[in-house]
Structure 1
Amino acid sequence: MAESSTPSRERIVAGAADMISRRGLNATSIRELAKHAKAPLGSTYHYFPEGKRQLATEAVRYAGTAVERILRKELDAGPAAGLRAFLGLWRDIVVRSDYRAGCPVLAVSVEEPPIDDTPPALLAAAEAFEGWERLLAEALRDRGVEREQAAGVAALVVAGVEGAIAMCRAKRSMRPLDLVERQLTAVIADAVAAAE
């Protein structure tokens, strides 16, 4: 059977997540998202009849879920392993893109929403951040860290890494992520040691 030349829905979503990670949401049109995914505009509207808003929301969910999947797997070995995986993922994306790409979840988060309506992509971004924090906090609690401290350390990890990604792109250097990695590794080690 001949393979269809129509791009898959998932490929369009993945392409949109990549494009948003490079240019942000407001600076990206549905036409550009389709082109970046090497998809005909008609196919894009077929899969996403609500247009850019729907595609952006699904792209953020896609990115959030992809990161969660990696975290969930690596956190089985403990919070330090989860941190290394989280850092490694973003390090790879930033370096491979020559500092042009970062996190699509962060990209959507920093764009100003309309006053009267919270865009679904922004809600999806909040859900992604919460999911990553929840997984990290659970891994810390599994090591005996008290609930409130585990939540605080998890939020620090996500905020620290996301901020470092933006700094790396601006400075065209991995130094901010390296510095944040050392500090977060120490915070996690201290929290786990204090709980033992």
Structure 2
Amino acid sequence: MSTSRQRIVVGAADLIRRRGLAGSTVRDLAGHSGAPLGSTYHYFPRGKQQLAAEAVRYAGDLVQTYLRRELHAGPIAGLRAFLGLWRQTVLDSDFRAGCPVLAVAVEEPPADGAPEALNAAAEVFAAWQQMLSTSLRENGVEPDQAGQLATLIVAAVEGTVAMCRAQRDISPLDEVTAQLEALIQHSLRQ
């Protein structure tokens, strides 16, 4: 990916995690990255949905890379890293930023075309769930339970990030961390 194109994608991911997709125009997304509007349309001829989809995939890939590395130490280490990443994001942004994947997922898809960004969000969530489920299975959790627990983890983390932003308080994330750790430890002992 070219440097200019990458800069636009990174800037778009950052703005979407702060303002959501509906709250951002292509001009806003280009401006946030410091790119000329013409360059944005050059790299993303299908417009906002294409750019948002790539921004979501970019954010998803960053989390996957981090999660993959941490899951080598086991599912609890992976969980702590996953939650720690979102904790840092929320605190570093003074509760102004969350997850761009969630931001896209909760918005109404466009009426005039394919929900490219929404499809990308679904892919990212599925990839995170798969990684967590695989780690849980590899560490002795029954396959059905591992899949359900992975879904619970992703849903709980995403919802908790939203709660923290709304309440301007990190304690919901800390509480969810403790409960999910206990649930994983219980599942590993069975």
The 3-state SS of whatever aligns with 1:135 is helix
How far off is 1:193 after superposition?
A: 1.2
Distance (whole Å) between structure 2 residues aligned to residue 117 and residue 187 of structure 1: 41
Which of 77, 92, 96 is the matching residue for 1:81? 77
The 3-state SS of whatever aligns with 2:24 is coil
Contact 1:20 1:104 in 2 (8 A): yes
Contact 1:7 1:38 in 2 (8 A): no
Which of 114, 121, 130 is the matching residue for 1:125? 121
Give the structure 2 partner of residue 183 of structure 1.
179
How far off is 1:117 after superposition?
A: 5.3
Give the structure 2 partner of residue 193 of structure 1.
189
Amino acid at match of 2:183: V
Amino acid at match of 1:146: E
Give the structure 2 partner of residue 51 of structure 1.
47
Instruction: Map Cα deviations across residues 109-134 of structure 1 (whole Å, 9 max, x no partner).
Output: 10112468550100100000000000
Which of 27, 34, 39 is the matching residue for 1:38? 34
Instruction: Map Cα deviations across residues 143-188 of structure 1 (whole Å, 9 max, x no partner).
Output: 1111000001100100000000000000000011011001000011
Report 1:1-196 matches (<5 A): 8-114=4-110, 118-194=114-190
Distance (whole Å) between structure 2 residues aligned to residue 116 and residue 13 of structure 1: 23
Amino acid at match of 1:75: L
The TM-score, its normalising length taken from structure 1, stands at 0.93
The TM-score, its normalising length taken from structure 2, stands at 0.96
Instruction: Map Cα deviations across residues 63-94 of structure 1 (whole Å, 9 max, x no partner).
Output: 11111111111100000010011011111111
Distance (whole Å) between structure 2 residues aligned to residue 21 and residue 86 of structure 1: 17
Structure 1 residue ranges without an equivalent (≥5):
1-5
Contact 1:140 1:150 in 2 (8 A): yes
The 3-state SS of whatever aligns with 1:8 is helix
Distance (whole Å) between structure 2 residues aligned to residue 114 and residue 16 of structure 1: 18
Give the structure 2 partner of residue 3 of structure 1.
none
Structure 2 residue ranges without an equivalent (≥5):
none
Amino acid at match of 2:55: A
State how many pairs are aligned.
189
Distance (whole Å) between structure 2 residues aligned to residue 23 and residue 112 of structure 1: 15
Identity %: 61
Question: What stretches of structure 1 move > 3 A for 4+ residues in a row?
Answer: 114-118
State which drifts further: 62-71 or 110-119.
Answer: 110-119
Contact 1:71 1:86 in 2 (8 A): yes
